[in-house]
Structure 1
């Protein structure tokens, strides 16, 4: 017979299955983000690459830790369970720290990025790699300029041109050079980029706080299993009522309340 309670072992196994599935979902999310950002021409963004690498690493580590915990529970070995507990403690602290830092930084992302992108204006004088990346974003997201089409001044590129299949509300006709007009996309690119950046930040917050919650739950379950392995034969503690609270009256009270016999 095993030293760990069967119900606790099954609960811990189900927890590790959920934990492993969540790690697989993180990897799948990283793959989808990789594909989508590649389609939208964001391959040159260093922050994008770093975020994807972090998602891959977190997903893989999550699945490995889940396997470690499941192995320790199945074999009833303290070593893997202690390693799992240590990983849960470290992981919960890291996840909660990252989550709170991201939550506090989220409202400041837009002004910081706006200031950073403003340094490349006007776009027709920006470095060549910045112009190429901006034109790729314009073609994929159907926008023109970072904050306005005037970011290109009189050198509006063909990536801003609005095709005939788009509705008139999505396009605008602007004066181009002298007595010339161009039909370009009406929306600038910065608000669209901010929408995706904030969406990624929200997804990261959800992932981080979910992992932190799972780590806290894993800490509790693994601690109980380690305790049962360390003290396998410990009898359950029963609370007994002390004698001073006994419902029966004391002996001296019985003598005092007993009927007195007459003395002759």
Structure 2
């Protein structure tokens, strides 16, 4: 069995340590998200959470096996790590190829999710608070138009006096931050831009971030596979042993002096 280069071994250990730390962080975030979303009834959310459990636990196990293999110089453990990581890389490559094709379908799903909230007057307190924040932050009103509020327009839709955004004048009741409605005698200026395109863009930006993270993780896993294969090659390398050469002097050893001393005495006798 060959000897593994120290620099190569340290590079491999650092790489699988990063994989293990990333897996632990992902597992912690997944457990926290599972606890927060425990009361949700959306099946798709829990499918994503269960997928995150697999994405975090499986590489953590392989990283432990790979660390054991390089520590004890066990070839079977390194082979298991390499095969598992190669399969994981293939899975992520297929996922990255398929995601751009499913981009439009995912965009349609996000759109239908928000349109299912109409009319906005039936939203819960948490949903109203989230939409109010979106309207005030991105200077928009309603999902498709201000009519989505059915004459119960929140104060977050109101344009500032010095706002450079496109605004429209409207009459009707308006809801302030305390939830009370009041009627307006004079027209009020409301943001003309709907919030649905903004919400769709935000939702799809999360998909783009996921694609970037997946690509970075794939490259890291490919690096670990390359280092693991290099370690295996050095372990499989045969150590050169010196050839044994016959030598008369080596066979005679240190006893030649005694033999030379005894030969004259034998001749005199």
Higher CA-based Rg? 2
Residue 161 of structure 1: which of 139, 151, 155 is its match? 155
Query: How far is the alpha carbon of 1:73 from its aligned partner?
Result: 0.5
User: Aligned residue for 2:17?
Assistant: 17
User: Aligned residue for 1:200?
Assistant: 206
CA RMSD of superposed structures (Å): 3.9
* Number of aligned residues: 220
Matches within 5 A, 1:26-105: 26-27=26-27, 34=33, 47-105=44-102
Output the CA distance in 1 between the equivalents of 2:53 and 2:120: 34
Output the CA distance in 2 between the equivalents of 1:134 and 1:66: 41
Note if contact 1:103-1:205 (Cα within 8 Å) is conserved in structure 2: no
For each residue in 1:37-93, what CA deviation from the matched residue of structure 2 results, as whole angstroms up to 9, or x when unmatched? 98xxx9666545544553454234333322221121011112321221121121011
Output the CA distance in 2 between the equivalents of 1:192 and 1:49: 25
TM-score (norm 1): 0.64
Query: How far is the alpha carbon of 1:224 from its aligned partner?
Result: 2.9
Structure with the higher fraction of residues in strand conformation: 2
User: Aligned residue for 2:238?
Assistant: 233
Note if contact 1:138-1:144 (Cα within 8 Å) is conserved in structure 2: no
Residue 210 of structure 1: which of 216, 231, 234 is its match? 216
User: Aligned residue for 1:224?
Assistant: 230
Note if contact 1:149-1:188 (Cα within 8 Å) is conserved in structure 2: yes
Gapped regions of structure 1 (runs ≥ 5): 236-264
Q: Does 1:174 align with 2:146?
A: no
Deviates more, 1:54-63 or 1:42-51: 42-51
User: Aligned residue for 1:140?
Assistant: 133
**SS of the residue aligned with 1:210?**
helix
Note if contact 1:122-1:152 (Cα within 8 Å) is conserved in structure 2: yes
**SS of the residue aligned with 1:7?**
helix
Runs of 4+ that moved beyond 6 A: none
- The structure-2 alpha-carbon separation of the partners of 1:50 and 1:184, relative to structure 1 and needing over 3 Å to count, comes to farther
Gapped regions of structure 2 (runs ≥ 5): 174-182, 241-269
- The structure-2 alpha-carbon separation of the partners of 1:13 and 1:120, relative to structure 1 and needing over 3 Å to count, comes to closer
- The structure-2 alpha-carbon separation of the partners of 1:27 and 1:194, relative to structure 1 and needing over 3 Å to count, comes to farther
Query: How far is the alpha carbon of 1:97 from its aligned partner?
Result: 1.2
**SS of the residue aligned with 1:145?**
coil
Query: How far is the alpha carbon of 1:167 from its aligned partner?
Result: 3.2
Note if contact 1:162-1:185 (Cα within 8 Å) is conserved in structure 2: no
Output the CA distance in 2 between the equivalents of 1:195 and 1:46: 23
TM-score (norm 2): 0.63
Output the CA distance in 1 between the equivalents of 2:202 and 2:28: 18
